[in-house]
Amino acid sequence: MNVLKRHEAIMEQLLAHREVTVAELSERLQVTGKTIREDLAKLEERGLLVRVRGGAMLAQREQFGILPERGPVTRHLAEKAEIAAAALELIEPGDTIALDGGSTTLELARRLPNEPLTVVTNDVYIIGELAFKPEIRLVVPGGSRVRNMLAGPEAVRFVRGLNLRKAFLTATGVHETYGFSIYTGELVEFKRALIETAMHRYMLADRHKFGRIALRTFAALADVDQLIVDSGLDAETAARYAAAGARIVKAPGGSREASASGAEQGQESEGISE
């Protein structure tokens, strides 16, 4: 296993268990304790974890990857619903769109009317949501399942052969220098394919992701046409990220309470964190 794969595996274990030991990682990854300690030191330098005696723990209490091991996502539901409502306004009847995997795009899928529309997605939860809307033409790329996502070279090739009008994407971290990032390397090329294929690209990210860095950057701030955020993003942060190349669009905040209520009703099926 190469260094990058080991780092991804270490972060996956941390995201699932919050704290790991050198001995556990050494046994799981079949490398020496010395190698694991060197890996932990490199990840600590990037601010992804904090080394403790005999192991490591997450650097931030609410640090999560795009694919947590288990449990519904219940954080920031009002913000996600607010962003989804704003994104819905960008979709026109007859559009061909892509929905990247994530809880905000899942919220968007829930809001799609049962009307003629083509939706491409690799998220099994979104597939399940749209399966009950027969007027929507559902297109699923190939690939192997990585928890709630379909990933792999065949999925990437499939997407690159499509004519997508709009792509709605998610990220774990949004940073001025490191752009949009995730922890799971298997999804990087799929996200890149969506960005490079679609005519219009929209990133959906709540304000709590700003300033965070995950393991793998898949796009720069300027690679998307709009970065749609919730109304709670402060003006200073918005200005700073705009100066770094982001084209920020704030969702209207007038109906947040109603949106939050709707999101809470559907939270049991959430198994993702973006």
User: Residue 52: what pLDDT?
Assistant: 85
Q: Which CB contacts under 8 angstroms, 24+ apart, belong to 40-47?
A: 40/10, 42/7, 43/7, 43/10, 43/11, 46/213, 46/215, 47/213
pLDDT tens digits for 53-95?
Answer: 888 887 765 444 433 444 435 577 899 999 999 999 999 999 9
| Mean pLDDT over each residue of the chain, to the nearest integer | 84
pTM of the model: 0.75
Q: At 27, is the pLDDT very low, low, confident or very high (cuts 50, 70, 90)?
A: confident
- Give strand pairing partners of 182: 216
End-to-end CA distance of the chain: 27
> CA–CA separation, 160 vs 146, rounded Å?
20
Which of 21-25, 142-146, 199-203 is predicted most confidently? 199-203
Give percent of the chain above pLDDT 90: 55
Q: At 267, is the pLDDT very low, low, confident or very high (cuts 50, 70, 90)?
A: very low
Average confidence (pLDDT) over 30-40: 89
Q: At 20, is the pLDDT very low, low, confident or very high (cuts 50, 70, 90)?
A: confident
pLDDT tens digits for 118-160?
Answer: 999 999 999 999 999 999 999 999 888 877 888 889 999 999 9
> CA–CA separation, 167 vs 91, rounded Å?
10
- Which of 171, 187, 186 is closest to 241 using CA atoms? 171
Q: Torsion angle of alpha carbons 240, 244, 247, 249, nearest 10°?
A: -20
Element (H, E) at 168: strand 166-169
User: Residue 264: what pLDDT?
Assistant: 37
Give percent of the chain above pLDDT 70: 86
- Number of Cβ atoms within 10 Å of the Cβ of 137: 13
14-18, 20-24, 129-133: least confidently modelled range: 14-18
Helix, strand and coil content of the chain, in percent to the nearest 5, comes to 40, 20, 35
Q: What is residue 183's DSSP assignment?
A: S
Question: Which residue did the predictor score with more confidence, 18 or 242?
Answer: 242
**Do 78 and 263 form a contact (C-beta atoms < 8 A)?**
yes
**pLDDT reading at 270 higher than 60:** no
